[in-house]
Amino acid sequence: MVKHLKIFQIDQVDKTIIVTPLGDSSSFRYRDLHMESNAVRDLLMKPGTRHLIIDLQNMEYFGSEFIGSLVSMLREVRNRGGKAFFCAATPQMLNVLQNMSLFKLWPHYDTRDEALANVPE
């Protein structure tokens, strides 16, 4: 399954949903962000979906509303007993995520393949 929304590209590999933000978060409208975040959370609640990878390869910056939507997705997975990861963050994004202490809750891997290799069975 590959689904292109305005803000996120959604891929699925087995029981793992991969969410890739599609660019500069400052250009996203809050309403679109809210609707698409809800659509992703709906996918995460479907039977057979267990894990989440947030692929940050296209992001140079995101604001508090955007990080809030990502954290809500990550929490949804954790609350349901799944695992969640970040991957492919730029050096600037790595710094932001480290400063927010998000890696203590959700690890970061350099590549999508590396993140997928660490998804439990």
> Quick one: pLDDT band at residue 48, thresholds 50, 70, 90?
confident
Q: What is the mean pLDDT of residues 90-118?
A: 91
Domains within the chain, CATH numbers bracketed: 2-117 (3.30.750.24)
pLDDT tens column, 80-100: 999 999 999 999 888 888 888
> Quick one: pLDDT band at residue 111, thresholds 50, 70, 90?
very high
Its pTM stands at: 0.89
Crossing angle (nearest 10°) for helices 30-44 and 64-79? 10
Query: What's the chain's average pLDDT?
Result: 87
Going by the DSSP 8-state scheme, the letter that residue 25 receives in this structure is: G
Scan for tokens 């990080």, then name that residue.
Answer: 67
